[in-house]
Amino acid sequence: MDKFRMIFQFFQSNQESFMNGICGIMALASTQMYSAFDFNCPCLPHYNMAYGLGILLVPPFILFLLGFVLNNNISMLAEEWRRPHGQRGKDPAVLRYMFCSMAQRAMIAPAVWVSVTLLDGKCITCAFCTSVPVEALGNASHPLLSQGEIQRVLARIPCKEIYNGQELIANEVAVRYLRCISQALGWCFVLLMTTLAFLVRSLRPCFSQAAFLKSRYWSHYIDIERKLFDDTCAEHARSFAKVCIQQFFEGMSTDLVAARCHLPRKASADMGEASKKLLGITDQGTMNMALKSWHRCKPPLHLHPPDLPSGNGWVGEGQPPVHSSAPRRETAAYYSSV
């Protein structure tokens, strides 16, 4: 249990670790789904290819969309993309980094599904069984079958229990031929995905490391800022609710006094502490205005330090005094004692 607790704490340490854990779970789930899936080829000439390629391509597309849905940053990306400029501009590089990061993680489960499906070979066998080269692997000069009948016989290759074309081509030979092609494609796909991941990880810092660090930093900043804003709003809502409830019960003080009940003294202290957390926002309209203002014109990413007064009366605006590079003219005064 301690090991599972440590793994769970690692996944919750930051956003990237959490999403990596989600993608790993989805990859394992895709393999379990395929192993539990009951593959039944229709064994009909006009339906085999649609069924085989559908099983090969449709579930990865669903898993890809599911990877975006489970990613917490998709709503943040949409909000950042659609919000008005306001006082803070939108950096396209940060938006591209966020989208590429989500797309890379969402592609893990579909890639696992395609790899497992190709290495198993059932989909390729079902989809391309009518394209088996009978001239090279079987008896193409069979006199009793027309071209349409040959296609119907070849379409039954995945269904061994109803296959009746052993005189045309042996079922084991056709299945082995198609499965070898499927496994070759599967290993090529795995090699391609591994090579692309290696190139992205190794070559990207060699060309745009500074831009990559900048995009990654501001992407993390947007995520942290959103979490802090949600926490602040939740704290304000808690304080607002606490003050409203205490004011409600204080409004019932006449009835409580009539019943010879006394309010606890701690309530007023708690109410004062909660009122300080409201920061002057004490009604629904003002809070709605603050939320709209946060969405429409977020504050600029520039921290203004306090003004620094100097001996000559200069008051800066967050900037140090600018010294002119022009030479200073000095005046000498001479006083005579005569």
pLDDT at 143: 58
Which of 110, 140, 105, 127 lies closest to 21, judged by CA? Answer: 105
pLDDT of the residue at 320 = 46
Give residue 254's pLDDT.
Answer: 61
Residue 249 forms part of a structural domain: yes
Output the pLDDT for position 35. Answer: 84
pLDDT at position 193 is 92
> Do 143 and 175 lie in a common domain?
yes
State residue 18's pLDDT score.
64
310 falls within a domain: no
pLDDT of residue 334: 39
Q: What angle do CA 293, 294, 297 make, to 5 degrees?
A: 70
Q: Is 68 helix (H, G, I), strand (E, B) or coil?
A: helix
Q: pLDDT below 50 — which residues of the chain?
A: 265, 311-338
pLDDT of residue 13: 53
Indicate if 200 and 243 belong to the same structural domain: no
The residue segments making up the domain with residue 222 are 210-254
Tokens in use for 88?
A: 């803070």
Do the Cβ atoms of 301 and 88 come closer than 8 Å? yes
Tokens read off for 187: 């290993």
| 192/217 same-domain check | no
Rg (CA), the chain: 35
Residue 77 maps to a domain: no
pTM for this entry: 0.72
pLDDT for the residue 332: 41
The burial of 34, by beta-carbon neighbours within 10 Å (0-12 exposed, 13-18 middle, 19 or more buried), is given as middle
Task: Give the Å distances, CA to CA, from 139 to 16, 43, 133, 308.
Answer: 58, 21, 10, 95
pLDDT of residue 91: 87
The pLDDT of residue 192 is 95
Domain assignment present for 316:
no
Residue 14: the pLDDT is 56
The answer on 114 and 203 residing in a single domain is yes
